[in-house]
């Protein structure tokens, strides 16, 4: 984990199916993004798709 969020904002993929952010770390069943947290166990029956830029320079 690079950084823990100051305030936890949990995403609900049922109401907003698209989430973006920079992955800061993984803690147990949670993906910690710079924009919020995703509980992967909650979406175990879902098909999720992740994408990343080719180079880390594209993030800056």
Q: Assess if residue 34 is contained within a domain.
A: yes
Residue ranges making up the domain that contains 14:
1-41
pTM (two decimals) = 0.77
State pLDDT tens for residues 6-59: 888 999 999 999 999 989 999 999 999 999 999 999 999 999 888 887 776 655
Q: Assess if residue 46 is contained within a domain.
A: no
Q: Assess if residue 55 is contained within a domain.
A: no
Q: Assess if residue 53 is contained within a domain.
A: no
Q: Assess if residue 15 is contained within a domain.
A: yes
Q: Assess if residue 47 is contained within a domain.
A: no
Residue with tokens 């949670």: 30
Structural domain count of the chain: 1
**Is the distance from CB of 26 to CB of 1 less than 8 angstroms?**
yes
Q: Assess if residue 60 is contained within a domain.
A: no
């Amino acid at each position: 984990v690079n950084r823990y969020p100051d305030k936890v904002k949990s995403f609900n993929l049922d109401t907003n199916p698209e989430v973006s952010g920079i992955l800061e770390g993984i803690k147990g069943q949670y993906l910690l993004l710079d924009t919020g947290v995703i509980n992967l166990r909650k979406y175990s029956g879902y098909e999720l798709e992740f994408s990343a830029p080719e180079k880390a320079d594209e993030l800056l």
